[in-house]
Every structure is written in C-alpha cells, then in structure tokens.
C-alpha cells in the first residue's frame, strides 16, 4: 500500500519523496494546479509544531535531498541540501575539527531544512545563538514551482538577506527549503559543567548572580525536580541549576573554578562539577512540550508560577519548556506584526499551497 501520513489527526495524506529539486518543482506544480496543499517533511521530529492542516494535499518527504554540496573548511562555511540530518552534518564537519553549535533532540533524524523552518535551538542558544544566526544562504521552491536563491556562500554577503530571513521560523509556509549555506565554528577543545541546587526563594537572586558572573557559560539551565531526574541530574533542592562551559581547556578550568568561588556566598546546595552532558538536557525538549518565551528578567517568576509537572528553562535566555499541561494553546498573537506576517504569506503563497493552516490558521 502507498505510504500515508496523518498530522494532528488530519489525513491520511499520501506521501511522495522527490529524488531531486526538479522532482520537487514538478510536485509543487501539480499540487497547486489541483488546489491542494503541500506539507514538507524532514525527520518528523517537529510535527507537533503549529496548528492542524486545513486543506487536503500531499505530504512531501525531503530526506532524499541530503547531499553536502560544498565545504570550503578554511572559509568556515558549508552548503548542503535541506534533507541532510544534523548528525550527518556534524560528522562531516568533525573531519575538519569544526561543528554547527546548535542542539536539538534526535539529531540523527532532525533535518537541517526542518530545523531552519522552526528556527531550532537548545540549551546552547545562550552562548551561541539560534540557527537563524548561522544561515547565510538559502534556496527554496516557490508556489510557481521555481527554485530561488537568497543570501550567498560567503559570510560578508547581504544579497537577498531579508528574503532569506523570512524563511527562518516560517514553519515551511512560504516555500519548500531545498538548500542551505551555514556558518560553522571550530569545535571547542574542552567541555565542563557545574550543577547545584537552590530553594525557590533564592532562584531569582541566583540567576542574577549567574547573569553577572565573570565566566562565559554557553548554557544556563534551571530544572524542577521531575525534569532534573529525567536528565539524570542530582536533586538537592527545589530547583537544579546547570551551567555549561565550552572553550579551550585552560579557559574552561578557570571558569569552573571561578563560578564555584562566586557561588560560595550564596544560598546554593551541593555545587560541584557534573559529568552529565548537555545532550541529556536537550533531550527534554521532546514532542508535546509547551515552549514559552519570556523576558529573561521574568524567568524566575514564571518558573515559580508554572503548574506543569515537569518544567525546565534556558534560564538566561527566557525560554521555558513545560510538560504535563495538556494541549498547548495555539491562539495567534495580536497586533501589527502578526498581520504583517499574514500579509507576507498571502503575497508569497496566494493559493495557500505550503503547509496550509499550520502557522496562520485559516487565512
């Protein structure tokens, strides 16, 4: 039987796997002519993002488009097809001592195109930023079934900059991403992390201490006991704090020792190094969690007010993940910015071909 896919109880949708960009363009042309929707897919690790589809159509699996097109390692850039997984990219970059410092759950399945569509990030966003900060070139297929390009293959390039940025975080609603050029970084020489507990009454002060630290952590995570146990971290108090460092070995050692000294006058418990890797905390960002963004200064108050069974946060970035709250609310934001986004969608995809309903609801 032909393979099908159901998204948020909508379907089943017939599945197609284009083997080339030409095949994809032909599929887009047929889909638009039939008045249907096209639902791009990668590793299917982020299907829970967005609303339910509103239009019959075709699920388009892009995992066959997985080539490394160009990797001039000395320029610290790489150009790839969008169906390449993060794990496969990291393996290629590791041959030159480089990496893309973006962490997502299931890197062996998560494709770069899908990651760009949701502007993926994890705990390391505090030190390295989100995927948006690394995309310098992009190609995508429009509703006219034509592959267009924006940006370029060099870091100092602003050609098509705004068009490129529109695609990042658009949830595949403005076209099908086919190719990406990314900045990369040297792999850090050493990694270490400090873990400690603090009571609810102290968490706001402790986060202020971490924000003002002389150290330069790449991640600062706060977890309630349920989340801490899931990440295999010790639970010493109401909240577990995890601070990670990645740099040259001497710099990492200095930062660990400095942070432990800075914490001594404050109400923390059991401050020590931990062998738990950041990947264990990234794995907490599993499907079904509610992700919320708040002002970093409000993180402590929002954590204390959460009713979720399991809650953790990229604490100095203002990103909170909650589990066990039921279905996440999907009401669209109000205001001029949201209306501008809807206008862009109607302009670039007037027939609502790409992921109809998934981001904007019923246009």
pTM above 0.85, yes or no: yes
Whichever domain contains 294, its CATH number is: 3.30.70
Return the pLDDT at 354: 96
Same domain assignment for residues 177 and 158: yes
What is the reported pLDDT for 50?
83
Report DSSP letters for 48-110, one per residue: TSS----S-EEEEE-TT---EEE--GGGTEEEEETT-BHHHHHHHHHTTTEE-----S-TTT-
Q: What is the pLDDT of residue 162?
A: 67
Co-location of 228 and 314 in the same domain: yes
Task: In whole angstroms, give the CA distance from residue 98 to residue 185.
Answer: 5
Cα–Cα distance for residue pair 156/141, rounded to 1 Å: 24
pLDDT at residue 61 in the model: 97
DSSP state of 166: H
Distance from C-alpha of 208 to C-alpha of 4, rounded to nearest angstrom = 50
- Structural domain contains residue 257: yes
Sheet strands (E) in 219-360: 219-223, 239-247, 269-273, 290-293, 310-314, 319-323
Residue 353 lies in a domain: no
DSSP letters spanning 110-157: -BHHHHHHTT---TTHHHH--GGGTEEEEEEE-TTS-EEEEE-SSSS-
Residue 16's DSSP bridge partners are: 60
Residues 6+ apart with CB under 8 A from 193: 242, 243, 244, 245, 273, 274, 276, 277, 278
Place of tokens 């010790």: 234
Give the three-state DSSP class for 300: helix
Q: What is the pLDDT of residue 324?
A: 78
Q: How many CA atoms lie within 13 A of 45 on its CB side?
A: 24
Domain limits for position 20: 4-61
In a domain, 332, yes or no: no
Residues of the chain with pLDDT under 50: 327
Q: Do 197 and 312 belong to one domain?
A: yes
Instruction: Tell me whether residue 362 is in a domain.
Output: no
Structure tokens at 87: 């794990």
Query: What pLDDT is recorded for position 244?
Result: 98
How many domains does one find in the chain?
3
Domain holding 117: CATH number? 3.30.465.10
Whether residues 118 and 238 fall in one domain: no
User: Domain ends where: 186, 206, 224?
Assistant: 186
Q: Can you tell me which residue has the tokens 């953790």?
A: 312
In the structure encoding, which two tokens stand for residue 263, read together? 């914490």
Same domain for 109 and 136, yes or no, is yes
Which among 186, 220, 255 is the end of a domain? 186
Which pLDDT score is estimated for 334?
63
Residues 72 and 29 in one domain: no
- pLDDT for 164 equals 82
């Amino acid at each position: 039987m032909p393979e099908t896919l159901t998204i948020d109880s909508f379907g089943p949708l017939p599945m197609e796997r284009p083997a080339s960009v030409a095949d994809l363009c032909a599929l887009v042309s047929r889909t638009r002519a039939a008045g249907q929707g096209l639902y791009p897919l990668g590793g299917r690790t982020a299907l829970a993002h967005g609303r339910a589809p509103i239009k019959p159509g075709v699920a388009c699996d892009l995992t066959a488009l997985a080539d490394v097109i160009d990797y001039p390692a000395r320029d610290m850039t790489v150009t790839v097809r969008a169906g390449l997984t993060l794990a496969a990219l990291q393996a290629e970059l590791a041959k030159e001592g480089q990496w893309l410092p973006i962490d997502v759950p299931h890197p062996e399945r998560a494709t770069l195109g899908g990651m760009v569509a949701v502007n993926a990030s994890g705990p390391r966003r505090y030190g390295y930023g989100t995927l948006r900060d690394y995309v310098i070139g992009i190609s995508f297929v429009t509703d006219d079934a034509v592959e267009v390009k924006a940006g370029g293959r060099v870091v100092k390039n602003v050609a098509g900059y705004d068009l490129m940025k529109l695609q990042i975080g658009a949830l595949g609603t403005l076209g099908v991403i086919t190719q990406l050029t990314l900045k990369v970084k040297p792999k850090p020489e050493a990694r270490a992390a400090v873990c400690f507990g603090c009571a609810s009454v102290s968490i706001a002060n402790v986060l202020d201490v971490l924000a003002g630290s002389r150290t330069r952590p790449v991640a600062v995570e706060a977890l309630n006991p349920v989340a801490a146990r899931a990440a295999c971290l010790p639970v010493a108090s109401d909240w577990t704090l995890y601070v990670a460092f990645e740099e040259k070995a001497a710099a990492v050692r200095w930062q660990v020792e400095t942070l432990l000294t800075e914490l001594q006058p404050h109400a923390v418990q059991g401050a020590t190094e931990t062998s738990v890797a950041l990947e264990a905390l990234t794995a907490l960002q599993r499907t079904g969690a509610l992700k919320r963004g708040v002002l970093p200064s409000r993180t402590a108050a929002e954590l204390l007010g959460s009713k979720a069974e399991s809650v953790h946060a990229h604490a100095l970035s203002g990103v909170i993940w909650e589990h066990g709250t039921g279905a996440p609310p999907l009401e669209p934001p109000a205001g001029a910015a949201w209306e501008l986004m809807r206008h862009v969608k109607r302009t670039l995809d007037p027939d609502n071909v790409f992921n109809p309903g998934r981001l904007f609801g019923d246009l």
